[in-house]
Amino acid sequence: MIDSHCHLDHEPLFENIDDILKRSKDVGIEKLLTICTTFESFKKIKYLVEKDDIIYGTYGIHPHEAKKDKVTSDLIINEIKQNNKIIGIGETGLDFYYNHSDKTDQIRSFEEHIKASLELKIPLIIHSRNAEPETLEIFKKYKNYNLKILMHCFTGTKKFAQDLLNFDAYFSASGIITFKNSQELQETFKSIPLEKILIETDSPYLAPVPNRGKKNEPSFVRYTAEKLAEIKKISKFELIKTTTSNFNKLFN
């Protein structure tokens, strides 16, 4: 299994990283992708990717932080070129649910990440909330540039998913698909081709059933895998094999 999106730099994961890694390996996880959100976040990520062979990282600024941590494509490119275990760009995107950063700052930051992704030819890890039309409009600007897109913790509409497939996007399922009130999201994932799906925890957030309400960790990704296999009407073995292959294909 691969946890395609976790935040190992956040507590309580960072201070318990040895235990987290042991439990991850015990359930069969072969890679963890720990996601950058701020300049400070990246300092810990550089330490973490050297901590263990199964840990890989990204570089990027979360849309919530776009006003405070102003990033340029050149800065992103320079940071990533210095470490071959930094394999993705993000978490970036648009979030108009909260007002931590205004739309102008978020869009500017998002486009800087896109430019870096095109230069380096590595995937973008996208956060999108209450911003489906705006996200699509930005992608349309780069329609002919072969963007590598991973929609993290996807909770969008079926229509949004179908529109994103036109950009050859991948979609990551989180523990949210195990929640009782997620039937619509389950139907959306049922409609997405299996070869376009990854799994993630977004830990320490969004722990899946049966651990909902607890601090999440990468080893809990197995519950998301089980639920997604049920949704797709395939074996857990096939689900894990395919989502692992999808990750390795996307991240080359």
CATH code, 226 = 3.20.20.140
Instruction: Taking each helix axis as running N to C, give the angle between helix 39-51 and helix 17-26, from 0 to 180 degrees, rounded to the nearest 10.
Output: 60
The b/e string for 219-236 (b: 16+ C-beta within 10 A; e otherwise) is bbbbbbbebbbebbeeee
Return d(Cα 42, Cα 9) in angstroms, integer: 8
pLDDT at position 101 is: 84
- What is the count of structural domains for the chain? 1
pLDDT at position 88 is: 98
pLDDT at position 11 is: 97
pLDDT at position 95 is: 94
Mean pLDDT by 10 residues, the chain (252 residues): 98 98 98 97 97 98 94 97 97 90 94 98 96 95 94 96 97 98 97 98 98 96 98 98 98 94
pLDDT at position 139 is: 97
Integer angstrom CA distances of residue 45 from 13, 14, 38, 154, 173: 12, 10, 10, 23, 23
pLDDT at position 168 is: 96
The tokens for 74 are 């050149």
Return d(Cα 49, Cα 80) in angstroms, integer: 12
Within a 10 A sphere around the Cβ of 54, how many other Cβ atoms? 17
What residues does 33 pair with on adjacent strands?
56
- Residue 55 has φ and ψ, to the nearest 5°, of -95, 125
Strands (E), 162-240: 170-173, 197-199
What's the N-to-C CA distance of the chain in angstroms? Answer: 16
Which structural domain range is residue 243 located in? 2-250
Within a 10 A sphere around the Cβ of 168, how many other Cβ atoms? 12
Reduced to 3 states (helix: H, G, I; strand: E, B; else coil), residue 101 is coil
